[in-house]
Amino acid sequence: MRIEILRGDITTRRVDAIVNAANSSLLGGGGVDGAIHRAAGTELLEACRELRRTQLQDGLPVGDAAATPAFRLPARWVIHTVGPNRHAGQTDPALLASCFRQSLRVAAGLGARSIAFPAISAGIYGWDAGQVAEVAFDAVRSFSSSASASGAEDSPLELVEFVLFSEETTAVFRAVFNSSPKGDS
């Protein structure tokens, strides 16, 4: 599985799935969540409302993931995940890792070959970008290793992008990636 780090706007990525750093309600918000909802159009909000009515009446739990079509985005799907909020006392890195793992699992289940992630929880949720990068890369590598061990046909994922809005966060992700023992994945 190839990992790429890009500075840019995740809503413009031509990948099979983009990951939305959503809130539990799935009804839109600020930051990446708001940008994705604006770019996808009102159909995304309706699809999220339907998820809430049918499968997620109590909202999407922290660390879990669910998919909707991407509507007006160049991607095929939006995978919504709720990152832990440090300001609310959610400081367990396992919750953050679960966001990445569950998003990859959902993407693989959809047959996605490519996926783009933002820096989940690194914005308003107060996590350090370096820690997010470490957790994210570990989760991707672990997912890739387990998929390889169980047979390549189990996961069609070939490309994982980290699409970061600021130059500062992009530089942090690149530094963490290049300093990791498997920085050439």
CATH number at residue 98: 3.40.220.10
Which conformational region is residue 63 in: left (phi greater than 0), alpha (psi within -120 to 50 degrees), or beta?
left
Whether residue 105 lies inside any domain: the answer is yes
Whether residue 184 lies inside any domain: the answer is no
Whether residue 22 lies inside any domain: the answer is yes
33 labelled catalytic = yes
Collapsing DSSP to helix, strand or coil, 83 comes out as: coil
Per-residue confidence (pLDDT) for residue 117, from 0 to 100? 98
Cα–Cα distance for residue pair 29/49, rounded to 1 Å = 14
Per-residue confidence (pLDDT) for residue 182, from 0 to 100? 63
Counting the structural domains of the chain, the total is: 1
Whether residue 59 lies inside any domain: the answer is yes
Summarize the confidence of residues 150-167 as an average pLDDT. 84
Name the percent of the chain lying above pLDDT 90.
88
For the chain, how big is the Rg over CA atoms in Å?
A: 15
Whether residue 185 lies inside any domain: the answer is no
Structure tokens that stand for 179 in this block? 């300093």
Going by pLDDT thresholds of 50, 70 and 90, the confidence category of residue 58 is: very high
Mean pLDDT taken over the chain: 94
Could you say which of 9, 16, 33, 58 is catalytic?
33
**Burial class, 162, CB count within 10 angstroms (exposed 0-12 / middle 13-18 / buried 19+):** buried
CA nearest to 9, candidates 43, 32, 42: 32
Collapsing DSSP to helix, strand or coil, 64 comes out as: coil
Q: Which amino acid is at 75?
A: A
Whether residue 113 lies inside any domain: the answer is yes
pLDDT over 70 (residue 148)? no
